[in-house]
Amino acid sequence: MPRRGKKPKSRRVKDEPKDTSGDQSHSFTTPDSIIPTTGIESSSPAPSDSQPTTTTKITDKIPNRRFHLETEYDASRFSASDIEVPRDTGWVYIACPRSKQKCPTCKVHVAHTDCLVIAIDGTCLNNGQFDALSSFGIYCGDGNIFNQGRKQESSEKHTTDLAELEACARVLMMVVFIKENRSLSDDVCRVIIKGHSGNLVRGMTEWMAKWKTNKWKTSKGSLVANIMDFMRIDYLLEEIGDEFDVQFWLVPRKLNQGAVRLAKCALGDVRGSEVVGSAPEKDVKEGF
């Protein structure tokens, strides 16, 4: 009896990316000509049940993206603020773990200039109400032209979480643009995205792998909240591949004031109004 040929495995084909730009800029915002927003679709369809899944393979391929200060630096010589090294280039770099002491003149440690620390924040005025308005901030360093503070004018829904996810996606696109155009003297090999949102950091470093193996559903069986935005970031990370390492660093709010200031300025920093910041890690629940 002749042997039957094996059926070819179906392959998932990514949709053609679309332009999702359109947010209005604040005076702190980098011009759209500098930050490319084409090539990413912000509302990609959720994967259907008919599409093939490879649970073990997906889990194995997802790297550990959590940046842990205590595992890389000697606590007797470095505090959380010590590992960030601002330079007159307008960028913030990571300190060398082998640095013995700070420079007596500039008061900072020796830096790895191929590793950037970029801070992000999302905030929302009247969070959870019909007239809510959100914004995000991206802080690369004092006076940096890539610093951003934007309102989410075109967003159908305004929440702190959505603003933070938008900031994260824009940072990834920005670094790709910088590498492609050789905008820095040293080629970027590592990017640490700093924020005080437990939702964002844990979502990207703990829950993402579980969601992907479970067809973008939580442990309770419901679709992941803000699924399109997480899929957008996942797409970006896959496209980046081995170009550079991306890690996420959870810090106290007091160590994230650069991004917080930019996000608030985009909303006009209305004092007396309730501007809701990111949820601390202890209040975070899977799927938001």
Question: What pLDDT, in 10s, does the model give residues 37-75?
Answer: 433 333 334 444 434 444 444 444 556 899 998 889 998
Which has more pLDDT, 183 or 22? 183
Bridging pattern class, strands 148-151 and 133-139: antiparallel
pLDDT recorded at residue 69: 87
- Expressed in angstroms, the distance from the first to the final Cα of the chain is 56
Residue 21 has pLDDT above 60, yes or no: no
Give percent of the chain above pLDDT 90. 50
pLDDT of residue 2: 47
State the pLDDT at residue 214: 93
Q: How many CA atoms lie within 13 A of 200 on its CB side?
A: 30
Q: What is the pLDDT of residues 84-142, one digit of tens each?
A: 999 988 999 999 999 988 888 888 999 999 999 999 999 998 887 888 899 999 999 99
Radius of gyration (C-alpha) of the chain in whole angstroms = 20
Per the DSSP assignment, residues forming a β-bridge with 125 are 133, 275
pLDDT at 80: 87
Which CATH topology does 55-280 take?
Nucleotidyltransferase; domain 5 (3.30.420)
Q: Higher pLDDT residue, 279 or 147?
A: 147
* pTM, full prediction: 0.74
Task: Please say whether the dihedral angle defined by the alpha carbons of residues 251, 257, 262 and 266, taken in this order, is positive or negative.
Answer: positive
